[in-house]
Structure 1
Amino acid sequence: MSTEDINAEVHNAFEVIKNGGIILYPTDTVWGIGCDATNAEAVSKIYALKRREETKSMIVLMNAEKMMYSVFKDIPEVAWQIMDLSEKPTTLILDNPRNVASNLIAPDKTLGIRMVKEPFCFKLMERMKKPLVSTSANVSGMPTPNSFKEISRHILDGVDYIVNLQHNKVAAKPSTIIKLGNDLQVKVIRP
């Protein structure tokens, strides 16, 4: 995909997101459903589309340290080390998020986040200046699609915009998930 194609899709997706819409887009792992992480109404649309309980939180993508600090006042030093040393996409679950939609925050006051370098996601967040919700493109309880072709009609019809980068190679594997408390307790949720 050319830079022009990516930039055009960033523009289209941004227009939908800023108006409270939800998008289907390629991430650094699997195809995801996303929206502005500060818009509780848009977040609710994703829960409804996925038929997912709002107590099962979703993760948020970020593209810069500044964005991390806008969501978390205290970030354990080991979080930066894990992100720097991870050889594959890694989601960190951190304590006491702020400045995001309250329906994204888990009952235990945590939020899963992942820093991304994937060009589309990175540029979209650069334009949004906000974190981006990311959840797999499936109905809750169903298998995660490994490719765009495996995404169900229900999901395709339920989003406001499908990013036209179907030829983008995604890893087709969910990220590693590590829970990292401010008390420095580390727990691997998904290797």
Structure 2
Amino acid sequence: MEKRYEAPDLKSAVTALKEGGKVLLPLDTGWCLATTPQSEEAAKDLFFLSKKTPGSNIVLLTDNVNRLTYYFEEIPDLAFDLMEMSEKPLTIILNKARRVPDLLIQEKQLAIRYYQDPFFSALCTRLRQPLLIITAGSNGQMANHTDEIDETIQSSAGYTALYSQDERLNSRAPGVLQLGPNGEITIIKE
């Protein structure tokens, strides 16, 4: 049976993000702190929080791989194939990133990940864009429950989703690979 979310919960998360805030969300990799790529102030906050939390990197997370074309000059077909076929969470670092605050891009590279979930997909659909995320656990660790969320990260959120809040997530660490400009693959983390 597919998990359901409550409309007021979704509306509150959408409102917080549209107002330039940050929201705590449950994902397949644990709880995360999210904002929109267009919210430069919130993206800066995310950047500084990720620097204070070792192992917490910023990822552009999407429910629809086609949304990513706006944020990169080009995306190799291999990236689409890998995201859609991967059986576990997979983060891919791509070159030629654009249209996100400069401080998030290291050497024109940005990490992306594809994720399907009813609440997250509805959120991206309402916002018409992917989200920037960092892990919400202490020291970059996965937070499988809201009581494992780092206090600094929790206090910076404008809203915490009620969706899945009462359950313990079965989080999985993502694999990480980098795609080079000529299709070369570098595995960073299996």
Distance (whole Å) between structure 2 residues aligned to residue 136 and residue 4 of structure 1: 22
Kindly state the Cα deviation for residue 178 of structure 1 after the two structures are TM-superposed: 1.0
Any idea what the Cα deviations from partners look like across 1:158-177, whole Å, max 9, x if unmatched? 21111112135633222111
Tell me the SS of whatever aligns to 1:3. Answer: coil
- Return closer, same or farther for 1:40/1:103 CA change in 2, 3 Å cut-off: farther
Q: How does 1:1-80 map to 2 (within 5 A)?
A: 3-5=4-6, 7-52=7-52, 58-80=58-80
Task: Check whether the contact 2:60–2:113 (CA below 8 A) recurs between aligned residues.
Answer: yes
The residue number in structure 2 matching 1:158 is: 156
Query: Which amino acid in structure 2 is aligned with residue 182 of structure 1?
Result: P
The residue number in structure 2 matching 1:149 is: 147
Tell me the SS of whatever aligns to 2:94. Answer: strand
Distance (whole Å) between structure 2 residues aligned to residue 177 and residue 46 of structure 1: 20
- Return closer, same or farther for 1:20/1:3 CA change in 2, 3 Å cut-off: same
The residue number in structure 1 matching 2:118 is: 119
Kindly state the Cα deviation for residue 142 of structure 1 after the two structures are TM-superposed: 5.1
Task: Check whether the contact 1:75–1:182 (CA below 8 A) recurs between aligned residues.
Answer: no
The residue number in structure 2 matching 1:189 is: 188
Query: Which amino acid in structure 1 is aligned with residue 132 of structure 2?
Result: V
Kindly state the Cα deviation for residue 28 of structure 1 after the two structures are TM-superposed: 2.3
Tell me the SS of whatever aligns to 1:182. Answer: coil
- Return closer, same or farther for 1:168/1:101 CA change in 2, 3 Å cut-off: farther
- Return closer, same or farther for 1:168/1:93 CA change in 2, 3 Å cut-off: farther
- Return closer, same or farther for 1:148/1:82 CA change in 2, 3 Å cut-off: same
Query: Which amino acid in structure 1 is aligned with residue 116 of structure 2?
Result: K
Question: Any unmatched runs of 5+ in structure 1?
Answer: none
Kindly state the Cα deviation for residue 57 of structure 1 after the two structures are TM-superposed: 5.1
The residue number in structure 1 matching 2:128 is: 129
- Return closer, same or farther for 1:154/1:68 CA change in 2, 3 Å cut-off: closer
The alignment's TM-score, normalised by the length of structure 1, stands at: 0.86
Task: Check whether the contact 1:21–1:35 (CA below 8 A) recurs between aligned residues.
Answer: yes
Kindly state the Cα deviation for residue 187 of structure 1 after the two structures are TM-superposed: 0.8
Kindly state the Cα deviation for residue 27 of structure 1 after the two structures are TM-superposed: 1.4
Any idea what the Cα deviations from partners look like across 1:120-148, whole Å, max 9, x if unmatched? 11111111112201110035x45332322
Tell me the SS of whatever aligns to 2:25. Answer: strand
Task: Check whether the contact 2:22–2:35 (CA below 8 A) recurs between aligned residues.
Answer: yes
Query: Which amino acid in structure 2 is aligned with residue 170 of structure 1?
Result: L
Indicate the percent of aligned positions where both proteins have the same amino acid: 26
Query: Which amino acid in structure 1 is aligned with residue 153 of structure 2?
Result: I
Kindly state the Cα deviation for residue 3 of structure 1 after the two structures are TM-superposed: 3.5
The residue number in structure 2 matching 1:176 is: 175
